[in-house]
Structure 1
């Protein structure tokens, strides 16, 4: 492995990297599975001096997508991360269409699993739309914040930008998702909505902080493996750009 060379994003335009596609695949897999497997289950853990602490099971794995977002931006730059986020957005949208279609297909005589299938995969369009919007905005803000903090710190103190970008991105994610998905519903009074938003936000940022050593290890290994350390000087931070 070679020592990483500090370069601007323009200097690597069009370059092929060995592990970029694998990191993209990991991001999309974590994103889809955390939305399918963990989104619906509510769990609880007993905390000393606090008592039972409820949380959504998806929070155990969904923040890993933000860790990968950080890794992508730190190693490959904002433009390539933007492409990954759009890929994840398209995958989530396709999953939503597929779920909606399969749930509503006519049931074969004798098959008794429709109720369970609807319970697991029958999320309403309000929740699906909220999830798509929150992910897209939160993911892009995380990447922009990290790229700009990297320039501000001249590449030092990685932990400040991985945690700082998550503080920004997860705030947008939580502030968008919960009101868009649940505001005004009988089961979600304003007090419960606010408490859930705050709880999930604190847990997500805390999880990112705990995973900081893992982020350091992965970032260091990938930079050495790819031989570059990308700085987004002169980068177009538009969310709709296509150039990498």
Structure 2
């Protein structure tokens, strides 16, 4: 039974997708405490601008945005072949494991530090390793709550929009349902995380929340469009791996249509 399960190509794909999805989300959360200048990545001088009356804005982004767009690409792929129930399941798994990781970070920060370790990097300009460790892993609770809530809600929005578009377009216009669902869910994600983390948690003004939300969203919007060819590439590789007939049955099953893919173990 186990051998049949492990040799089943759709099952192996789902395990790979779930593993990447969870790992990518956890890494994005861990590196999210670093801010970087998008302009400087391209060798440009940061340009300050105003939006909604909020001045001094620039494309300063959290390092987490380097990875989050891949989550939405993976969401669309899983949605296409395994359906919304599978997306919700891996989203819940990701949130549970990220929450577990942050609890373990808290435990690690709380245990007494060895005296030798505290000053072990003083020569490198880090006089207190405990302070450095806490600064990296000790994100504020409002940020953690905002990020996890935004992630979960945006995943549900992505699934809903994706399937509504697919019901109208069928198997055509992959770019429309993939990009359309992503640009809507990314807007929801950008707003919720800022609202919870900084409006509720730090009493930011509405204009500041909206201004920074639109700055972050404009980056995510452009990236969502730019990553559209990746959807086609992944679908092409998946269909080569599964075979056209199996892929077609899986897509039909994902939409709740007849002739679903038959599991090799249960035949249902």
TM-score range with shorter-chain normalisation? Answer: 0.7 to 0.9
Q: 1:72 is matched with which residue: 74, 78, 90?
A: 78
For 2:159, the equivalent position in structure 1 comes to 143
Q: 1:54 to 1:62 in 2, by over 3 A?
A: same
Deviations 1:206-242 (A, max 9, x none): 111111111111022213423223244459xxxxxxx
In structure 1, how many angstroms separate the alpha carbons of the residues matched to 2:114 and 2:139?
A: 22
In structure 1, how many angstroms separate the alpha carbons of the residues matched to 2:143 and 2:215?
A: 19
In structure 1, how many angstroms separate the alpha carbons of the residues matched to 2:46 and 2:135?
A: 35
Deviations 1:110-158 (A, max 9, x none): 3321000111000121111111111111112112211221111112101
Q: 1:28 is matched with which residue: 22, 31, 53?
A: 22
More helix by share: 2
Stretches of structure 1 that go unaligned for 5 or more consecutive residues are 1-14, 236-243
Stretches of structure 2 that go unaligned for 5 or more consecutive residues are 1-8, 49-57, 119-128, 258-267
Q: 1:186 to 1:129 in 2, by over 3 A?
A: closer
Q: TM-score, normalised by structure 2?
A: 0.75
Q: 2:210 is matched with which residue: 171, 194, 204?
A: 194
Tell me the secondary structure at the aligned position of residue 174 of structure 1.
Answer: helix
Tell me the secondary structure at the aligned position of residue 25 of structure 2.
Answer: helix
Instruction: Indicate the structure whose relative CO is greater, using CA pairs within 8 Å and at least 6 residues apart.
Output: 1
In structure 2, how many angstroms separate the alpha carbons of the residues matched to 1:159 and 1:16?
A: 23
In structure 2, how many angstroms separate the alpha carbons of the residues matched to 1:185 and 1:149?
A: 36
**What is the alpha-carbon root mean square deviation over aligned residues?**
2.5
Deviation of 1:48 after TM superposition, in Å, equals 8.5
Which 4+ stretches in 1 moved above 6 angstroms?
none
For 1:81, the equivalent position in structure 2 comes to 87
The answer to whether 1:60 aligns with 2:66 is yes
